[in-house]
Amino acid sequence: MALLLKENTRIAVDAIKSNKLRAIITMLIIAIGIMALVGILSAIDAIKSSINSNFTEMGANTFTIRNKEMNMRVGRHGKKPKAYRPINFKEAMRFKEEFDFPCVASISTMASFNARLKYLSKKTNPNIQVFGADENYLETSGYELLEGRNFTPPEILSGNNLVILGSEIAFSLFPKNAKPVDKVISIGGAKYKVIGVLKSKGSSMGFGGDKICIIPILNARQYFGRPDMSFTINVISKYPWLMDIAVGEATGLFRKIRKVNAKEVEDFDVVKSDSLATMLIDNLQNVTLGATIIGIITLLGAAIGLMNIMLVSVTERTREIGIRKALGATQEAIKYQFLIESVVICVLGGLIGIVLGIIIGNLIGMGLDTGFFVPWFWIITGVIICIVVGLLSGFLPAKRASKLDPIESLRFE
């Protein structure tokens, strides 16, 4: 059996070599299908890894109290839909002052999504996120200082024009060897003194990352205030095993502050950092499903193309099949010859697709700062899929070849 397999493999390789152009085109079709499948799914794994690493940096003992999304609920008996009101500054400050638990709480708000920063003649793109925050924000959000210092409580209370820059902004505005600390920059029409630069945190999947700057929260209210401004409360528990108790205590206190009756549902959200990561990853499952369907459709087209080419090959090699049968080759031997040829073409094309898929996945991973990785699961899955596609595509041509009459095949022109 091993000798027969070796001989059929050699014949399959010789057949591929004799029709190089046709074989290469078929391999490329297979490669594109595998590349789409492995590349997209590897990229999704990189995104999941980025989400997990970014939320791990925040710590498993962190939770956030934030404004409930503006969901419109249809009430019963003709009641009007309800819109949840934002968390105002007084409510957030009252929580911070009254929350008596071994935790550290901070208050922050999104002052601007699209600010432009300027230093001398250099400007950033108008896509910088400006956060107003207090002195505890860096600790509760998982940021660390690369240089400089944090805000002091008096600076927060006085709303001084001070700013802490994300590393990407500092790199864009200042020359390589320049020290951003103590320099004065412009945010909108106001001047701010730089007191610190944050360590790089990566893109963070759109959650600020390195394209943020932080100003005192009272300063944000003064220069960026708007009627619908909502404030977020970040809380980090000093003892991870008290996390659930801390969440319960915080929920109860904030219900009291927001004057939510016992029978009513909270008009705010309390989200643990790990549950938020889980929610985002769960949302990616739909993307994974869509990517898998796209890859399968591409492979289906490749399989049909391979089957067509193998049928043409059987017709072209009818005389060769007749000679092999006349020399004693059995139907099984002929069938295995064409099946192996189909599998070899699929596997070679699949290997090309896997390499391209790994490159695509890692390019996206590098953009998300997840580093180089080898998606072994998708590599093994890709090889298995190639073998299955090769067997399915080659089965009909192989069966047709094995059923040919040797006498009629020898007379075939």
Reported as a pLDDT band with limits 50, 70 and 90, residue 196 is very high
Q: Contact at 8 Å (CB) between 151 and 135? A: yes
pLDDT over 80 at 66, yes or no: yes
Runs of H (alpha helix) within 317-375: 318-326, 331-367
- CA 325 → CA 4, 15, 400, 409, distances in Å? 15, 17, 14, 9
Q: Which residue has the higher pLDDT, 368 or 22?
A: 22
Q: Taking residues 24-49, report their average pLDDT.
A: 78
Q: Taking residues 48-59, report their average pLDDT.
A: 60
Q: Tens digit of pLDDT for each residue in 91-113? A: 999 999 999 888 889 999 999 98
- Separation between Cα atoms, residue 182 and residue 160, nearest integer Å: 14
Q: Tens digit of pLDDT for each residue in 105-137? A: 999 999 998 899 999 888 988 889 999 999 999
Q: Which residue has the higher pLDDT, 76 or 239?
A: 239
Of 394, 349, 372, give the one whose Cα is nearest residue 31: 349
Looking at residue 299, its pLDDT comes to: 76
Residues 6+ apart with CB under 8 A from 108: 131, 132, 133, 134, 137, 141, 217, 231, 232, 234
pLDDT over 80 at 6, yes or no: no
Reported as a pLDDT band with limits 50, 70 and 90, residue 73 is very low
Q: Taking residues 376-388, report their average pLDDT.
A: 81
Q: Tens digit of pLDDT for each residue in 248-279? A: 999 999 999 998 888 888 888 888 766 556 66
pLDDT over 70 at 412, yes or no: no
Percent of the chain exceeding pLDDT 70 equals: 83
Q: Taking residues 157-175, report their average pLDDT.
A: 91
- Is pTM beyond 0.85? Reply is no
pLDDT over 50 at 75, yes or no: no
Q: Taking residues 18-35, report their average pLDDT.
A: 80
Show the tokens assigned to 27: 């391999």
Q: Which residue has the higher pLDDT, 196 or 336?
A: 196
Q: Contact at 8 Å (CB) between 231 and 88? A: yes
Reported as a pLDDT band with limits 50, 70 and 90, residue 369 is low
Q: Tens digit of pLDDT for each residue in 321-365? A: 788 778 777 777 788 778 888 888 888 888 888 888 888 877 776
Reported as a pLDDT band with limits 50, 70 and 90, residue 55 is low
Show the tokens assigned to 47: 């995104």
